[in-house]
Amino acid sequence: MIPAAAPIIGQEEQDAVLRVLQSGMIAQGPEVSAFETEFADLVAGAECVAVNSGTSALHMGLIAAGVQAGDEVIVPSFTFAATGNSVALAGATPVFADIEPDYFCLDPGAVEAAITERTVGIMPVHLYGHPANMTELRRIADARGLAIYEDAAQAHGAELDGKRVGSFGTFGAFSLYPTKNMTSGEGGMVTTGDPQLARMVRLLRNQGMEKRYENEVVGFNTRMTDVHAAIGRAQLRKLADWTAKRQANAKFLDENLRGVVVPPVADNATHVYHQYTIRLVGGQRDEFVRQLADKGVGSGVYYPIPTHQLPSFEIDVDLPETARAAAEVVSLPVHPSLTQSDLEKIVESVNAVATAGA
């Protein structure tokens, strides 16, 4: 079976972990600080604060930005639940807006229609590694006096007009979960151009302390360990090559798949292909996935249930493009571990299933 995702852990990561274990400094320490400094190169020099998950990055960022009860933040429903969860955990209300049909990211027109007097911010998700339409979202935010909080969990190194995601808004939040384009084993990163917001995130992640036992605010324990940071540092050095391989794999799939809608890329965007997501227009998606698996090709459906329809929210709102995407999308393997033989097998299998009976 060709897996849908394949985390790559090499000798460099193993050596880094052993180095930390032998140092005796296992919790947050010099490795975390070095990882934050090095990660800044990925986000145009923004200040970086490491935490224990992508969800924590969103949660800490929102609280540090002053989001609170009574506020509304506009989010997509077609994404992982952590996006809406983080807003709710900050005490605010996630307001779900529809997506653009091509890139699966927030539709600026839907965002504009969802703004109320309680709206304080917009949280676009750079879904699957393709940047959201930050040009239009920035225009709307500036015109209405709103903040932008970027969910860049899946978009390490993605760009729009030559500008890296995670550097457009008040803050950006990255995930370092094992299946992401790079990992720290488990972890997240808050990126911001605001030194005061960065300091607040550092307080929040460490029980509200900058100096030991001098708690300035009510905080959490969302620190990253040096063990995880050491893995992240090793992975960060490989990210550019892995991204190029993902993009080359996607190009091969683009040029050879038949009977499905391949993912378009905006002219001004750099897609980093966390997922290579096709559409099956009018197809039987679950049967398609089953038949691919029978042929030895793994796949994933991200996301079959829109967040607003989950039991945790159950909000009655009409999001037609979100509903259509949830019924039609399938993500194929695109990860750097794929061989040419794997790519050819994926193409042969998808084409056989997609064009059967055509």
Collect all residues with Cβ–Cβ distance below 8 Å to 237 and sequence separation of at least 6: 12
Q: For residue range 27-72, what is the model confidence (pLDDT) as tens digits?
A: 999 999 999 999 999 999 999 999 999 999 999 999 999 999 999 9
19 neighbors 233 (Cβ within 8 angstroms): no
Phi (first) and psi of residue 220, to 5 degrees: -125, 180
Domains of the chain plus CATH, in order, are: 11-236 (3.40.640.10), 239-355 (3.90.1150.10)
Question: Is the pLDDT assigned to residue 148 strictly greater than 50?
Answer: yes
Coil, helix or strand at residue 204: helix
Average pLDDT for 295-299: 98
Q: For residue range 170-225, what is the model confidence (pLDDT) as tens digits?
A: 999 999 999 999 999 999 999 999 999 999 999 999 999 999 999 999 999 999 99
CA angle 42, 244, 47 (to 5 degrees): 5
In the prediction, which pLDDT does 358 show? 47
In the prediction, which pLDDT does 40 show? 98
Average pLDDT for 286-291: 96
Q: What is the DSSP string of 163-200?
A: EETTSSSSEEEEE--TTSSS--SS-EEEEES-HHHHHH
Gyration radius of the chain's alpha carbons: 20
In the prediction, which pLDDT does 356 show? 85
CA end-to-end span of the chain: 26
For the entire predicted model, the pTM comes to 0.97
In the prediction, which pLDDT does 111 show? 98
Question: Is the pLDDT assigned to residue 141 strictly greater than 70?
Answer: yes
Q: Positive or negative, the Cα torsion across 281, 287, 290, 296?
A: negative
116 vs 199: CA distance, rounded Å: 30
Q: For residue range 98-131, what is the model confidence (pLDDT) as tens digits?
A: 999 999 999 999 999 999 999 999 999 999 999 9
pLDDT band at 357; cut points 50, 70, 90: low
- Record the tokens describing residue 299, joined without a space: 């796949």
